[in-house]
Structure 1
Amino acid sequence: MLLMCKNIPVYDIGSETVLNNALLPGLMREKSANMHTFTRWMKYRYSSGTNTLARKLKGITFGQGARIRINRETRALSFSDCYWIKDENDLVLFEDISPYYKPFWEGMDEYKTGQAVPTLYVGGALSKEWKNDGRLYKYGDVSVELQCIKLCKNCGILVENAFAIKDGIAIENITSQNLMLEQADQSGRLDPDDFDEQTIIDLFGKGGAQMLIIDAIIGNGDRHAGNFGWMRDADTGAYVGMAPLYDFDHALDSTLESDRLLTDAVKYCMPYRDEVIRIAQIARESDNPVFSKRAGSVLDIL
């Protein structure tokens, strides 16, 4: 069994042999490529433990457990990157089965082996699913998420694009067949269970400071390592920059005028003081009273 990136063999899973180091998932490149790191990386990609709709689809269609079988049958195709798995003698090409090129199974009618099921490979607690129009649909009260996206755009911060739909939000995919998302928890560049603001500044510089300050202003207390990361070139494996901000499900975790989230963000972002001031001044004019109040507190601290 081979791990592929598009049509390039990257890793022989059975023999634990690296076939293309540049295109290895970050976790495997940083921590050495073996069955342990491959399994950890696959676990981070697999979503049915968090995404409630993915869990439902998995249960009705594939049964409980049997993750190895599910990965084999679905080829572990995602709509966030260009990785997939196949047998060594399988002649199928990425273009024949990838959701970037082909319609995919959405949970209706019979599932056929080889179809893409990218909903099984997108995390987060809300019910969400990929649609054939290339958008991620999230269901529930997402009005605050739209406000967060609007604020980021007003501040000139790179962010996902989204719009309201009935019962939820539709989010434009930030990836393509040429550009992959690598979440921080898949990168091997930090401990997903033990990192702090300084880690983010060290990894992303000004982009990291923008994320920390905007999260502090919107009261987002859950910027875990699964909802920020890098964009990678799908042909070379090169890291081309920080990914657009995405996933604001926990905005307004805090509605206080000030708290540790806010004061720590200001402290660690002082090397980018002018940028912090610029963002806070814009956010202070927000229609959301909590955003406005917390932005004012940032300016008071400075």
Structure 2
Amino acid sequence: MLLMMKDRKVLETMTDGSLRVYDRKLLPFALQKDDLTYEDFIFNWLAVRPLSMGRTNAKEILNNSKIPQTPLTIAKISHAFNLTDCYWVREEEETVTWESDNLYDHPMDQEYADTALTGMPHSLNREKIHTPELTSQGVSAKCWIQEPDGIYLYKVGRKELPASEILQQLGISHVVYERAGLYQKYLSKERLKRIEQSGELIVKSKLITSKKMSIVSFEEFAVWCANQGKDEYEEARKTDPKRYYEMQIADYILNNSDRHVGNWGFYFKTDENALTGMHPLMDHDHAFDENETLVSQTWDGKTLLEAAVCAQKILNLPVNHVLCMEMPEFLKDQEWDAVKERARTLLNECE
């Protein structure tokens, strides 16, 4: 099997279980180590690339084409193409190429998008499967849709909209979400209506990667740090201190209970494999938690408040702007009251 980065060979598995590395500089971050093994590549990188079975509608996605629920099978069938970076895999004898099959340049299977977002099943029997839904991470119902001006992520997430408004007031770099208005004709309107009747909304955000700029999750970044003998949190602060500290303030003001290792991370220049800084904050569908004593998931040993106080003393963001703005649409009264109370607490703690 060949690991490719666009049309360049990076690594090959040999018949005796060894690896042949063609370009060490282009190895994925988790595989940048001196004692790289076959098991590292197959089980610690390739097998974690496909969608998780904990993702909403995961089984329905796989059932569309009768794909077994085993990570390596999914990775091989999809060639591990995704919209996070430009890595993919193929067997030596396969004729598939980056130019012919990458997800940035070619239409994606529409039926998979419908299933991924709404759970609507489709019976497909295709020799060639072309969809990012087999490798999209996370657990929420979501899908990728190509629109005239680019690729968008559609997801179920009422809280994304008010979170975006608040982060805009704070001047924090974030993925901007908007309410998805006119749904594409191939999305199940009946099931979409059912989602909104449950009190949720369909929102969308534009793809933040490209063929030139990829992202690596903090989870993989932490593996890279461990392989280099570095502390992952200290390295994160050193790599992009401003955005790292912004994240502490954002997560406290929003009371985000789900800043896990998979939904924050870093941009890197695709062709150079060089980190450039943190990518914009995203995934706030678990914001506005009712528990006001949350522990930080990105700063060891601190609560969200303690981490935010340290960050605010460094950045001095305009937290008072939150107190002056009108209550964002789609936010409940008690959620908004709690946001303002946290803003006041942060300002008082930093006096």
Normalized against structure 2, the TM-score is what? 0.75
Matches within 5 A, 1:220-239: 220-239=256-275
Aligned-pair distance for 1:184? 1.1
Q: Secondary structure at the match of 2:214?
A: strand
CA shift digits 1:196-251 (9 cap, x unpaired): 97675345312111001110110002211100011111111111221111111210
Aligned-pair distance for 1:162? 2.0
Q: Does 1:35 align with 2:68?
A: no
Q: Does 1:49 align with 2:66?
A: no
Q: Residues 197 and 86 of structure 1: is their aligned pair in 2 closer, same or farther, counting only changes over 3 Å?
A: closer
Q: Residues 283 and 43 of structure 1: is their aligned pair in 2 closer, same or farther, counting only changes over 3 Å?
A: farther
- Give the percent of matched residue pairs that are identical in Structure 1 and Structure 2: 25
In 1, are the aligned partners of 2:322 and 2:340 still within 8 Å (CA)?
yes
Structure 1, gaps ≥5 residues long: none
Task: Tell which deviates more after alignment, 58-67 or 89-98.
Answer: 58-67
**Correspondence for 1:264:** 306
Matches within 5 A, 1:146-295: 146-165=161-180, 167-187=201-221, 188-189=223-224, 200-254=236-290, 256=292, 261-269=303-311, 273-275=313-315, 277-286=316-325, 287=327, 288-295=336-343
Aligned-pair distance for 1:110? 2.7
2-structure distance, mates of 1:299, 1:31: 47
Task: Tell which deviates more after alignment, 37-46 or 240-249.
Answer: 37-46
1-structure distance, mates of 2:125, 2:177: 29
Q: Does 1:300 align with 2:333?
A: no
Residue identity in the other structure for 2:313: R
Task: Tell which deviates more after alignment, 123-132 or 111-120.
Answer: 111-120
**Correspondence for 1:8:** 8
Aligned-pair distance for 1:143? 2.6
Q: Secondary structure at the match of 1:227?
A: coil
Q: Residues 178 and 267 of structure 1: is their aligned pair in 2 closer, same or farther, counting only changes over 3 Å?
A: same
**Correspondence for 1:121:** 135
Q: Residues 55 and 244 of structure 1: is their aligned pair in 2 closer, same or farther, counting only changes over 3 Å?
A: farther
Q: Residues 40 and 289 of structure 1: is their aligned pair in 2 closer, same or farther, counting only changes over 3 Å?
A: same
2-structure distance, mates of 1:222, 1:163: 21
Residue identity in the other structure for 1:155: L
Aligned-pair distance for 1:83? 1.0
Structure 2, gaps ≥5 residues long: 113-121, 182-200, 296-302, 328-335
Q: Residues 180 and 31 of structure 1: is their aligned pair in 2 closer, same or farther, counting only changes over 3 Å?
A: farther
Residue identity in the other structure for 2:203: I
1-structure distance, mates of 2:125, 2:202: 26
**Matching residue within 133, 136, 139 for 2:153:** 136
Q: Secondary structure at the match of 1:137?
A: strand
Q: Which is greater in Rg?
A: 2
Task: Tell which deviates more after alignment, 182-191 or 146-155.
Answer: 182-191
CA-based RMSD of the aligned residues comes to 2.5
Q: Secondary structure at the match of 1:278?
A: coil
Task: Tell which deviates more after alignment, 174-183 or 145-154.
Answer: 145-154
**Correspondence for 2:22:** 19
Q: Residues 249 and 295 of structure 1: is their aligned pair in 2 closer, same or farther, counting only changes over 3 Å?
A: same
Q: Secondary structure at the match of 1:99?
A: coil
**How many equivalent pairs are there?**
293
